């Protein structure tokens, strides 16, 4: 990633709870150990986090309950004040910003969607979606026009005059998404937005989310504890454990090269076909005979396995520039599906 492509960066970021956390961090040279925390009964909710998030990227933060993922996102959005480190948004340090300046940044450049929809029950769908613009002082006609646009975008056209209590859980979450998009944010934070939904609606909302991202190309920080959800949505994943980021990688890299036993256990039961791309198991170079078609090298095996298995020949694989980089046939796909390849 080039410097100009980075929208959000944190450097040596800490969030510590306990008595005089600023003094505690300073007293230990900005790098307290686990023993230091235990000795002084302090809690390191986020420990020395370093992250660079590129423009247009879906960056997923995941970990078990208590790992620090929600605290990290609240630090990144400055909803809570970090104990130490640097936080740079679009090239500008924001830890020193005043409350008034932060409110303006969050109102106009950041969108947030949380697990609990937090819709205002006495307002209609249209009024809920327009509410952030009303807070900004935008006139009614303009804000309602923008609200109608995002309501249509999330598939709720025709329900503008309904109240939250008249909507399903999935529809309520769509209103929450519409409300956050109304301000046209540069950076979009989503903290387990689908975890309160039943599995079928959750899958539907993931599909909706990917459809929106394909159109809008937002920079997204997405929290989940569900690895299946993470690998479906993420460009890169940060895995957290006890307040620390233990690995940042693509879903494929996490599965094939886990940084430690914790990450390996996290990914142990993930079907490799969901994560691995054709390029990771291809034979190098273009096939000279028996070619029945072309496929993108970055396609996930799961999405094209049936097509390859049914074919009577091999497929050449092309990279993002359209250059043929290898080929693949039935054997490679079956090896992954039955666990002979892909780190199973």
For the entire predicted model, the pTM comes to 0.85
**What pLDDT does residue 342 have?**
56
**What pLDDT does residue 344 have?**
46
In tens, the pLDDT along 291-332 reads 999 999 999 999 999 999 999 999 999 998 999 999 999 999
Domains detected in the chain: 54-82+95-270 (3.40.50.300), 273-337 (3.10.580.10)
What is the rounded radius of gyration, in angstroms, for the C-alpha atoms of the chain?
23
Which phi and psi (to 5°) does residue 182 adopt?
A: -60, -30
Structure tokens at 250: 């693509």
- Residue ranges of the alpha helices (H) in the chain? 21-27, 34-39, 69-76, 99-109, 125-135, 140-153, 169-181, 199-216, 227-233, 251-256, 261-267, 272-275, 278-281, 301-310, 330-337
In tens, the pLDDT along 57-102 reads 999 999 988 999 999 999 999 999 999 999 999 999 999 899 889 9
User: Whole-angstrom Cα distance, residue 227 to residue 240?
Assistant: 12
Q: Which of 221, 237, 121 is nearest to 180 (CA)?
A: 221
Q: Which residue has the tokens 């094939």?
A: 256
**What pLDDT does residue 308 have?**
94
Residue 326 bridge partners (DSSP) = 284, 317
User: Average pLDDT for consecutive 10-residue bins of the chain (344 residues)?
Assistant: 81 96 95 94 96 96 92 93 95 91 88 80 94 90 93 91 92 89 90 82 86 90 90 94 96 92 88 90 92 94 93 94 94 85 52
Write the secondary structure of 67-102 as one string of H (helix), E (strand) and C (coil). Answer: CCHHHHHHHHCCCCCCCEEEEEECCEECCCCCHHHH
């Amino acid at each position: 990633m080039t410097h100009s492509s980075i929208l959000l960066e944190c450097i040596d970021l800490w969030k510590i709870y306990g008595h005089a956390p600023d003094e505690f961090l300073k007293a230990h040279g900005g790098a307290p150990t686990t023993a230091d925390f235990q000795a002084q009964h302090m809690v390191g909710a986020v420990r020395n986090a370093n992250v660079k998030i590129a423009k247009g990227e879906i960056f997923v933060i995941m970990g078990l309950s208590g790992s620090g993922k929600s605290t990290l996102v609240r630090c990144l959005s400055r909803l809570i004040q970090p104990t130490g480190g640097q936080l740079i948004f679009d090239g500008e340090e924001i830890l020193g910003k005043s409350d008034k300046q932060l409110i303006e940044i969050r109102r106009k450049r950041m969108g947030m969607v949380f697990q609990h929809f937090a819709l205002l029950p006495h307002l209609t769908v249209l009024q809920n979606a327009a509410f952030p613009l009303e807070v900004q002082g935008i006139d009614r006609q303009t804000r309602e026009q923008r609200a109608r646009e995002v309501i249509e975008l999330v598939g709720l056209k025709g329900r503008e005059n309904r109240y939250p209590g008249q909507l399903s859980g999935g529809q309520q979450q769509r209103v929450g998404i519409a409300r956050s998009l109304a301000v046209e944010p540069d950076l979009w934070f989503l903290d387990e937005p689908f975890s309160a939904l039943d599995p079928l609606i959750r899958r539907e909302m993931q599909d909706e989310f990917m459809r929106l991202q394909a159109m809008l190309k937002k920079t997204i920080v997405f929290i989940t504890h569900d690895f299946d959800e993470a690998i479906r949505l993420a460009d890169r994943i940060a895995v957290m454990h006890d307040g620390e980021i233990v690995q940042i990688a693509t879903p494929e890299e996490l599965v094939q090269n886990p940084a430690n036993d914790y990450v390996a256990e996290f990914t142990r039961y993930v079907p490799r076909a969901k994560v691995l791309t054709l390029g990771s198991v291809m034979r190098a170079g273009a096939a000279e005979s028996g070619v029945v078609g072309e496929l993108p090298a970055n396609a996930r095996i799961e999405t094209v396995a049936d097509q390859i298995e049914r074919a009577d020949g091999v497929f050449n694989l092309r990279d993002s520039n359209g250059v043929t980089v290898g080929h693949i046939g039935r054997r490679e796909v079956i090896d992954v599906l039955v666990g002979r390849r892909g780190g199973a």
